[in-house]
Structure 1
Amino acid sequence: MSDTPNFRLGGLTPADESSAEAEGDIGLRDDLFRTLAEHHTPDGKQSFLVIHDGSATWGLPGAPQFIALHITRDLATRTFRIEQADHPTVPFAQLWLASRGCPPDAIQLLEDQRLEPADALTVHIEGRIRHSGTRYEIKDHYTHDSVPYETWVMVRDSDSSAADLPVRIFLEETDLDAFTYTLREGAFRDGSSANQWLFDRDTPLPEPPEHLVSADRRIRAALARSTTSQPATAASVPAPTAVSAPLPGASSHRRGGRS
């Protein structure tokens, strides 16, 4: 499948001024656009796309590089409307599209247009973001598009499980040699402590306490499924899943949050 965006606007005219401006904007940059994911409704009335904007690398430092695009068509009047928004990571672009009616699992990345998630935890966190609804409010973000490649997103988590540590940092790190990436979540009491961690990087990203609860539940479930009649020993109890390893070279990274 071609990664050149197909907006399916042939024979249609903009329904309003903002859609005309959006059409002109994407037309000027479409040679730098690469489609990462797309979903088109069977009736032809809506399209949802996640696009990588190659021009972002020459823009403001730290600028987001992904565009979520929602196109609606009135086939009776032969008109269209365009909504679009910039996003720092693909899962948040998918979340934005889901809020506009796209089934979250229908906007998956194309197989030949993706880096591979390095582990199951990355896949789990991405899926949670994609299905999170209005849970996360983005407060800040930054994309570092040179070595070491990383993007962080600071959010406020409104879920009751995060009441004590409501500020979260989602940190995505990319290994272009392995063509893989990892995504981790850190939990903080407030924005100041989150920004301080981003600046210092002298400790591992502090994992959310609910991750530890989930790991404990997995251990208990594994023990309950055991068919052995022997008492569990230290060797037989599965170790908790590691959910936040120290970041490679973290102490040398000095890219803090913007004030």
Structure 2
Amino acid sequence: MSNTADFRLDGLTPADEFSAEAEGDIELWDDLFSALAEHHTVDGKQSFFVIHDGSATWGIPGAPQVIALHITRDLTACAFRIEQADHPTVPFAQLWLADRGCPPDAIQLPQDQHIEPADALTIRIENQIRHSGTRYETKDHYTHDSVPYETWVMVRDSDPSAADLPVRIFLEETDLDTFTYTLREGAFRDGTSANQWLFDRDTPLPEPPEHMISADRRTRAALARSTTGRLATASSAPTPPPGPAPSPGAQSHRGGGRS
């Protein structure tokens, strides 16, 4: 997929002032807007985009660099509307688009075309955010676009499993040497302790208890599968035919002693 987004606005006019301004921004910053993912409905009435905003690096320090953009078209009136929002990371942009009707799995980044997740945990946490609905309320975020490349997002988690540690930090760290990134989740009692961790960084990001429980369950399930497989292999092994009885001389040699 080309990095140039196909907004499909030819022959259409903006339906309101905001859409007109958004179209102007698209045209003005076209060379700095890179489409990371896009999805178009079959009827042509809606399009969803995740865009990297390269112009943000010259703006306010820490500003988000991902844009979620939703286009709706009235094909009868030949008009369009644009709704958009800035986000610190791709999964939160995908979540915003999902709330506006985009299937969450339809707006994922294509493989082998962008920087890749470094491990399975990164993929799992991204999927968790993408499908979280109204679970997270974003409180703060910061994007550091020089070494060390990282973005953190502080949210309040309304899920019952997070009642004791409702403030969460999602920390995304990028390694340009390997062209990969990791995403981790930290759990805190309140915003003060979360901010203190961000300031000090003198301990590892505290992992949510539910992650450790989930990891333990996966480990036990894997062990159970492994044990079941070994038992099945052992039970299906053919019984060897009886061999000749060992001679008395052979028995004495296995005894190991000399008379």
* Counterparts of 2:216 and 2:2, CA distance in 1: 45
Q: Which residues of structure 2 form unaligned runs of 5+? A: 232-259
Aligned equivalent of 2:111: 111
* Counterparts of 1:222 and 1:213, CA distance in 2: 14
* Counterparts of 1:27 and 1:112, CA distance in 2: 28
Give the partner amino acid of 1:33: F
Q: Following TM superposition, by how much is the alpha carbon of 1:212 offset from its aligned partner in structure 2, in angstroms?
A: 1.2
Q: Which residues of structure 1 form unaligned runs of 5+? A: 230-259
Deviations 1:138-169 (A, max 9, x none): 00000000001000000000000000000000
Identity fraction in percent = 84
Query: Which of the pair is proportionally richer in helix?
Result: 2
Deviations 1:95-132 (A, max 9, x none): 00000000000001133541011100000000110011
Aligned equivalent of 1:241: none
Give the partner amino acid of 1:151: T
* Counterparts of 1:4 and 1:212, CA distance in 2: 41
Aligned equivalent of 1:178: 178
Aligned equivalent of 1:191: 191
TM-score by length of 1: 0.86
Flag the structure with larger Rg: 2
Aligned equivalent of 1:203: 203
* Counterparts of 2:204 and 2:157, CA distance in 1: 20
Deviations 1:12-45 (A, max 9, x none): 0011111111111222111110000000001100
Aligned equivalent of 1:51: 51
Q: Following TM superposition, by how much is the alpha carbon of 1:182 offset from its aligned partner in structure 2, in angstroms?
A: 0.3
- Tell me if 1:22 matches 2:25: no
* Counterparts of 2:96 and 2:90, CA distance in 1: 10
SS at the partner of 1:111? coil
* Counterparts of 2:177 and 2:106, CA distance in 1: 29
| Residues matched between the structures, number | 229
Aligned equivalent of 2:251: none
Q: Which structure 2 residues correspond to residues 45-194 of structure 1 after superposition, within 5 A?
A: 45-194=45-194
CA contact (8 A) 2:73 2:79 kept: yes
Structure number with the bigger relative contact order (C-alpha 8 A, sep ≥ 6) is 1
* Counterparts of 2:86 and 2:135, CA distance in 1: 19
TM-score by length of 2: 0.86
**RMSD of the alignment, in Å?**
1.1
Q: Following TM superposition, by how much is the alpha carbon of 1:201 offset from its aligned partner in structure 2, in angstroms?
A: 0.2
* Counterparts of 2:175 and 2:122, CA distance in 1: 14
* Counterparts of 2:18 and 2:189, CA distance in 1: 40
* Counterparts of 1:223 and 1:75, CA distance in 2: 56
Give the partner amino acid of 2:101: G
Q: Tell which deviates more after alignment, 103-112 or 146-155.
A: 103-112
* Counterparts of 2:142 and 2:11, CA distance in 1: 39
Give the partner amino acid of 1:43: D
Give the partner amino acid of 1:46: Q
Give the partner amino acid of 1:24: G
* Counterparts of 2:13 and 2:26, CA distance in 1: 15
CA contact (8 A) 2:67 2:86 kept: yes
SS at the partner of 1:151? strand
CA contact (8 A) 2:37 2:50 kept: yes
1:113 to 1:53, Cα distance in 2 relative to 1, 3 A: farther
SS at the partner of 1:9? coil
CA contact (8 A) 2:152 2:171 kept: yes
Which portions of structure 1, spanning 4 or more consecutive aligned residues, are displaced by more than 4 angstroms?
Answer: none
CA contact (8 A) 2:5 2:38 kept: no
Deviations 1:22-73 (A, max 9, x none): 1112221111100000000011000000000100000000000010000000
